Chain A
């Protein structure tokens, strides 16, 4: 090739002359490189949560610095170890964390140390600290879905892997299945923070956090989550996600064909057959309930 050195690299940085570009166009190279660049630009990596990442970093850093300290102080360590065990044991009793999970097919009521209450929907898990120190933020971790009634007091935080929800005293539902965080507020107001942006929603509003960011809040007419009344309701939710919810509510396994598209509607938690009809009829699907109580869906 009689071209300049590194000519493709210069397509990207835009340093080519008109005649060089013409040459590349004529030979077809220009279009080929452009298509590669265009498609390469759609590649993405898992998002990076700065806050969570930083907390992990600090934890690891602290762990490590205490280890190096131990090495330096080794002669004293044995004597101190016994004392340390006692002190840690004492602290542990007063500052241990508790993990509560609702099995599939069940909900679980949790009363937190500050008397706030949480109702966990099927298959969800809540972790919180036993201690209830004054002047301290209240932090719980949630996987799945839960309805919170928070006592007034210090900031109350629900950490999820898709963002955090921060409140003072109020009632709200947090849902983190599939790829989104969904928050509905029934009393007071809450702050929803995706790590990159945040929004405050008030009583009667709901919001989605998806990978692109936070959607603008919408009005909701329900005064509590539907699952509390034994119903799962969906508005424009991927069909796969609807069946995952069914699996959690009825504690069984669903075998699905490859389905695309979304579902609008609801199903109850008290009768599997009726629930399956409610989902399958509008979608034109048929279902079989096997002997071991699992479900097979077909088109």
Chain B
């Protein structure tokens, strides 16, 4: 199966397009830019479709996206924005509880934005995209151990919002 086949190419986009966009968003905090770079990465895949086999396509896409981000868009400070629903199993009608939760959520969002980029992307790929460490390690081209290390560091930093340090 060649990536040059339109159908295969489309399947790849349907499968990985959203993940790639999210990955770029975790890095840049800029949704418009992320969608742009995501498409640019897929175009690059198309231009090189005869050289990239289908089982290498995913890591190729993530590598290309990462390079594009580093070359074009790296910023020192990013602010990530998320949807503002509060979902919980606990009583939804308790206003005090909801207020507490939404305050906590705000602090968490800020703390996530302040994480180093490598920790932030691992944490959010795991929580939002529901990816296992193994999958993340393949996409980032690093070892599972390295993924665990970044995750551990991310959680240690985020834990500080409890103590307010």
Contact = CB atoms under 8 A, between A and B. Distances in A.
Nearest to B31: A46
A57 B108 CA distance: 34
Contacts of B133: 9, 13
Contacts of A40: 108, 112, 123, 127-128, 158
A48 B105 contact: no
Contacts of B145: 6
B152 to A, nearest CB: 4
Contacts of B132: 13
23 contacts: A5-B149, A6-B145, A6-B149, A6-B152, A8-B155, A8-B156, A9-B155, A11-B155, A13-B132, A13-B133, A33-B155, A36-B159, A39-B104, A40-B128, A43-B124, A45-B128, A46-B83, A50-B17, A57-B39, A57-B43, A60-B39, A61-B39, A61-B43
Given A32-B162, A45-B82, A54-B10, A10 B46 contact: no
Interface of B: 10, 13-14, 17-18, 21-22, 25, 31, 35, 39-40, 42-43, 46, 82-83, 85-88, 101, 104-105, 108-109, 112, 123-124, 126-128, 132-133, 145, 147-149, 151-152, 155-156, 158-159, 161-162
Q: How large is the interface on A (under 10, 10 to 19, 20 to 34, 35 or more residues)?
A: 20 to 34
A237 interface: no
Interface of A: 5-13, 29, 32-33, 35-46, 48, 50, 53-54, 56-57, 60-61, 64
Given A42-B105, A48-B18, A53 B155 contact: no
Contacts of A7: 152
Nearest to B82: A43
A33 B151 CA distance: 12
Contacts of A29: 159
Nearest to A59: B39
B108 A39 contact: yes
A48 B149 CA distance: 30
A50 B152 contact: no
Contacts of B149: 5-6, 9
Contacts of B31: 45-46
B85 A42 contact: yes
Given A7-B152, A33-B159, A40-B123, 19 more contacts: A5-B152, A6-B149, A6-B152, A9-B133, A12-B155, A32-B162, A36-B155, A36-B158, A36-B161, A43-B124, A43-B127, A43-B128, A44-B128, A50-B18, A53-B13, A53-B17, A54-B17, A57-B39, A61-B39
Contacts of B155: 8-9, 11-12, 33, 36
Interface centre among B35, B132, B148 (most CB of A within 10 A): B148
A201 B162 CA distance: 50
B161 to A, nearest CB: 8
B79 to A, nearest CB: 14
B14 A50 contact: yes
B119 to A, nearest CB: 11
Contact of A9 (B21, B87, B108, B152): B152
Nearest to A36: B158
B152 A32 contact: no
B152 A53 contact: no
A251 B145 CA distance: 60
